[in-house]
Amino acid sequence: MSTNRRKMRVASVVAGIGIVAVLAAGCSRGGGTPNSTEDGGGSAEASPGITDSSITLGITTPLSGPTAGPGTCTVAGITAYFGAKNADGGVEFGDGNTRTVEIEALDDEYDPQKAKANYDQLKSSVFAMTAGLGTPTNRAWREAAIADEVPQVLIMTGDPIFSNQEESPWQLGFVPIYQNEGEAFGELLAGSGEEHTVAILSQNDDYGEGYVEGFKNAIEGADNIEIVKELTYEATDTSVDAQLTELAGSGADVFFNAMSITPLVISSLQKTQELGWLPSWFLPSNTSSPSAILEPGGAAAFPGVYTVAFAQSAAAPTFAESEEGAAFLEQLKEYANYPDVPAFPHCVWSYQIGATLEEVFGSMTEPTRENFMEALRDVSGFTAPLMLEGSTVDTTEDGQPAVSTVQVQRYNGKGYAPAESWDE
């Protein structure tokens, strides 16, 4: 068995941005084959990865490399959620069976080729693929999943193609699409009534383009907002100092930074201070962690740092005091061996994915991937654990992911607070 394959019961997650160790033990799988005598009940032949007593889910995500911090969380949260459910006897399915949920996760290092290889390794033995982080990595095996009719669902990419039922019938994103995030920030800025000049640095792919598209759509027709400079960078770049120097020369008072690489965000915060350029910032939700990014980057030096959110922050001072927050942290420690308060929101997001999957499992009447997708497309108004007020899971709107509502928040030196207006 490959050393980077893990069973959920024995996952060991080391938090942080550095190297992430996930220990493996045992090569047995919970799922059976379609012809297994243990296949789920009902008249339909069971799909791979599901029996009367268990279901196995696959994840390919970065567990090492520069995106290991958030990538590790994509496994830890869902592992914690189903670990607790398994300890209580399992999850009740709509076909009358109660099953344990097993997770097999492979490290793709945020490399599309490795992500595709991981999918090829898992596709015949897992029931569905879920929770994995990254636009280029998820895109790398999207067409293969459609051809193989393997669900690629509730994944962590804001690429809208995954939420288009006609183009991606076996897929569905979980987090808001990039356009949703960029649009929310643009609306806040345009609604300020103040004149602002904006400099943009975006990742030269669908990720960056989506954020910029949403932002530009929101400020279209707003005569108080002017984009004065716009540059891109490659996801493989190790430095964007040249771009930052050029953007600083624009003198823009707002910096829209659609960046997905954690170390680059930190170094960008530091570099702009060296240049004496202190604009207000917008950061995507997946690269806006207060403890892992903003604090080491010295973000308190800027007049405002904004992002968007739909879930509670585990790093918030009052998080552990709530019943839901305390349970989440305890389960993360006990079932995912993740002892620290998560620095990235992805731990909470994948925990919410677990809850959403349980909701779907409860509506399944047959142990098939087809029936699973039907049930998945019929979730409306579901409030997953740890969601912000006003945000829900709704999978019924074509072109939108499971979560499409976001709130703009502003960094206050320790965490984030809602920003209903620009100067809050």
What Å distances lie between residue 12 and 80, 111, 114, 289, CA to CA? 11, 22, 21, 22
Confidence class for position 424, pLDDT limits 50, 70, 90: low
Q: Which helix (H) or strand (E) holds 281?
A: strand 280-282
* Position 35 pLDDT exceeds 90: no
What Å distances lie between residue 248 and 91, 243, 256, CA to CA? 54, 9, 12
What Å distances lie between residue 354 and 102, 288, 313, CA to CA? 11, 23, 17
Confidence class for position 5, pLDDT limits 50, 70, 90: very low
State the sign of the Cα–Cα–Cα–Cα dihedral 401, 407, 411, 415: negative
Mean per-residue pLDDT, 251-265:
95
Mean per-residue pLDDT, 138-167:
96
Beta-bridged to residue 309, according to DSSP, are 407
- pLDDT tens, position by position, 173-231: 999 999 999 999 999 999 999 999 999 999 999 889 999 999 999 999 999 999 999 99
What pLDDT is attached to residue 215? Answer: 97
Confidence class for position 82, pLDDT limits 50, 70, 90: very high
Sorted by where each starts, the structural domains of the chain and their CATH numbers stand as 6-176+318-376 (3.40.50.2300), 178-309+407-418 (3.40.50.2300)
Of residues 42 and 421, more confidence is placed in: 421
Phi, psi (rounded to 5 degrees) for 410: -120, 135
What pLDDT is attached to residue 43? Answer: 67
Confidence class for position 371, pLDDT limits 50, 70, 90: very high
Mean per-residue pLDDT, 380-402:
95
- pLDDT tens, position by position, 84-130: 999 999 999 999 999 999 999 999 999 999 999 999 999 999 999 99
* Position 15 pLDDT exceeds 80: no
